[in-house]
Amino acid sequence: MNSEALTMVRFPQSMTRFVAILGMVLLLAIPAATASIAAATSETGTATGGSFREVARLAKQGRFEEAEALRQEGLSAGIHSPDDALFLQGLIAVNRGDAAVAEEIFRRLLDADSDRRLVRLELVHALMARGSFTAARFHLGRLQGAETDRRLSAYYYRLDREITRQRPWGARFSGSLAPRTNASRGSSEDVIMVGDMPFRINDEAKARSGVGFEFDGELSWQFLLSDTTTLTLAGFSRGVAYDESELGSIEVGGNATLRRFLSPRSFFDVGIERSRIYAGGDPYADNVTGLGAFSFMLLDHLQIATAGRVTHVDYSDHPRPDGLRSSGSVRATYAIGPGLALGAYVSATRDRSGYDHQRFDGREVGATLYAELPFSLTAEVVAGIGERSFDADYPGQTFARHDTYGRVSTRVLKRDWAIEGFAPAISLSYEIQDSNVAFKTYDDIGFSLGLARSF
């Protein structure tokens, strides 16, 4: 047999020995590998080295000491980051019944990163456990606005229904001291020219500063008529009262709103509202308003909200005849995350209140920003530009006033300084208006410091 044939014969024998040796090695290695995997699984809950799910499972089963021990082991071994370990500590706390501790932990994590959606969801659970249903619904709304997963969106909707069942009533209130440089929104000029004729502006029409108390409060009760339909009854009071009573106005009233959900993220409202406005401490107007709204999601993150109102105005004891006011708006809000949203809006108002020969029309476009910032700060910014026109026909002449204006306002809330759910809030606003009627040209700076509900 030649060497080539010998090689062909011996090669299979070598391969056989190689396979046999490899098999013996594998037989010896598999038990050790299996033991290692079992140990890793026992410690971390997964074969990939993370005990996150196992700690969560133990916490939900009420095995809190085991969950805490496993959490500590994972933190010491570097399996968990400090933030993950802190989250698991909050998860153990909320399942153990320490909802206050859990809330503090979850809020601390959200302060560092407002886009942590699982943290915000567990904060909702902690708030519900504490009975803070208004705050829970607020954070649930932030999650719903930024959610793209339909299953999670449906879960948020079911949670909202559960909140309504557990706490059908709600309350909100904010109040602040509000000094303004031009509370009367009048001219700073003493004399204006109309054509070639000078006219002196009386003190009532001139700019007057003032320090007011601004407030906005509401009590409501929500009835769950079906899984997709709610009826809300509410009473409200809002306005601003100045040290000079004739500068302020207060509105007091109530409304009933029927809401029908077409999907977890789309709904329409129909309702009616009755209110009375007081100006200078005296009744000024009684309003009856019909309202409607439709809100829906577009492209997952974009919420489109349309609203319209038609109001019959009765000017109470004033000789001015009744009138009709209508308004409408479209708002688009893009949720970059639960803690960051950009918006834009357009609105229009038409007023035929009073005399048939008088007409008022207004239009405005603007942008909004909502941002949850580090250091437990929440910032809201609104900026808009618009125009207003007022026309009146008199015998032999027509009076036409045209105003253009711009305004910007911002409010900053310090969430972690809350006392009984109320936190300090600072607001700053600026408005400037130009008019073809000189005494309606003005600017105004406003500042307020007060308390608002902290969610």
Q: Does position 325 have pLDDT exceeding 50, yes or no? A: yes
One domain for residues 184 and 98:
no
Share of the chain above pLDDT 90, in %: 52
**Predicted pLDDT of residue 246:** 66
Q: Does position 396 have pLDDT exceeding 70, yes or no? A: no
Structural domains counted in the chain: 2
One domain for residues 299 and 347:
yes
- The structure's pTM equals 0.78
Mean pLDDT of 76-93: 91
Average predicted confidence (pLDDT) for the chain: 83
Q: Is residue 176 part of a domain?
A: yes
Q: Write phi, then psi, for 19 (nearest 5 degrees).
A: -65, -40
Q: Write phi, then psi, for 428 (nearest 5 degrees).
A: -140, 135
One domain for residues 154 and 188:
no
**Predicted pLDDT of residue 268:** 97
Mean pLDDT of 34-46: 33
Mean pLDDT of 423-452: 89
CATH code of residue 159: 1.25.40.10
Confidence band for 423, pLDDT divided at 50, 70 and 90: confident
One domain for residues 326 and 196:
yes
Specify the higher pLDDT residue, 377 or 247. Answer: 377
Nearest to 336 by CA among 147, 113, 151: 147
Residue 267 β-bridge partners: 261, 295
Asked if 216 and 173 touch (Cβ cutoff 8 Å), the reply is yes
One domain for residues 327 and 395:
yes
Check residue 100 and give left, alpha or beta (phi > 0: left; psi -120 to 50: alpha).
alpha
Lookup result for tokens 């009071």:
237
Q: Is residue 68 part of a domain?
A: yes
**Predicted pLDDT of residue 32:** 37
One domain for residues 206 and 288:
yes
pLDDT digit string (tens) for 340-377? Answer: 999 999 999 998 866 666 788 999 999 999 999 988 89
Q: Write phi, then psi, for 52 (nearest 5 degrees).
A: -55, -55
Angle, alpha carbons 299-137-380 (nearest 5°):
70
Q: Is residue 178 part of a domain?
A: yes
Asked if 350 and 325 touch (Cβ cutoff 8 Å), the reply is yes
Q: What whole-number distance in Å separates Cα of residue 293 and Cα of residue 408?
A: 26
Q: Is residue 315 part of a domain?
A: yes
Confidence band for 173, pLDDT divided at 50, 70 and 90: confident
One domain for residues 76 and 218:
no
Q: Does position 111 have pLDDT exceeding 70, yes or no? A: yes
**Predicted pLDDT of residue 296:** 94
CATH code of residue 274: 2.40.160.40
Task: Name the least confident of 77-86, 195-204, 265-274, 275-284.
Answer: 195-204
Asked if 386 and 362 touch (Cβ cutoff 8 Å), the reply is yes
Residue where a domain terminates, one of 166, 192, 217: 166
Q: Is residue 432 part of a domain?
A: yes
Angle, alpha carbons 138-143-144 (nearest 5°):
95
Burial of 218 (0-12, 13-18, 19+ CB in 10 A): middle
One domain for residues 126 and 155:
yes
Q: Does position 13 have pLDDT exceeding 60, yes or no? A: no
Q: Does position 10 have pLDDT exceeding 50, yes or no? A: no
Name 383's Cβ contacts closer than 8 Å, sequence gap at least 6: 366, 367, 368, 406, 407, 408, 409
Q: How is residue 315 written in tokens?
A: 């000017």
The type of residue at 1 is M
| DSSP code string of 336-355 | EETTEEEEEEEEEEEE--S-
Q: How is residue 204 written in tokens?
A: 């009532």
Task: Name the least confident of 194-208, 318-332, 394-408.
Answer: 194-208
Residue where a domain terminates, one of 112, 139, 166: 166
Q: Where are the beta strands (DSSP E) in 80-209?
A: 169-180, 191-194, 197-200
Residue where a domain terminates, one of 166, 199, 222: 166
Task: Name the least confident of 127-131, 190-194, 263-267, 315-319.
Answer: 190-194
CA distance readout (Å), 292 to 92, 252, 325, 327: 44, 20, 15, 11
Name 308's Cβ contacts closer than 8 Å, sequence gap at least 6: 291, 292, 293, 326, 327, 328, 329
One domain for residues 386 and 398:
yes
One domain for residues 204 and 353:
yes
One domain for residues 65 and 107:
yes
Burial of 41 (0-12, 13-18, 19+ CB in 10 A): middle
**Predicted pLDDT of residue 284:** 84
Nearest to 322 by CA among 354, 283, 356: 354
Q: Is residue 4 part of a domain?
A: no
Q: Is residue 16 part of a domain?
A: no
Q: Is residue 96 part of a domain?
A: yes
CA distance readout (Å), 160 to 100, 107, 108, 164: 21, 20, 24, 6
Task: Name the least confident of 26-40, 284-298, 309-323.
Answer: 26-40
Confidence band for 193, pLDDT divided at 50, 70 and 90: low
One domain for residues 151 and 271:
no
Nearest to 92 by CA among 120, 118, 126: 126
**Predicted pLDDT of residue 177:** 87
Q: How is residue 246 written in tokens?
A: 């004739």
* Secondary structure class of 192 (helix, strand, coil): strand
Q: How is residue 321 written in tokens?
A: 């005849």
* Secondary structure class of 353 (helix, strand, coil): coil
The four Cα atoms 57, 61, 63, 69 give a dihedral, to 10 degrees, of 10
**Predicted pLDDT of residue 233:** 98
Query: How many Å from the N-terminal Cα to the C-terminal Cα in the chain?
Result: 92
**Predicted pLDDT of residue 453:** 74
Share of the chain above pLDDT 70, in %: 80
Nearest to 305 by CA among 345, 271, 339, 342: 345
pLDDT digit string (tens) for 130-155? Answer: 988 988 999 999 999 888 888 999 99
Specify the higher pLDDT residue, 148 or 238. Answer: 238
User: Residue 70 sits in which domain range?
Assistant: 52-166
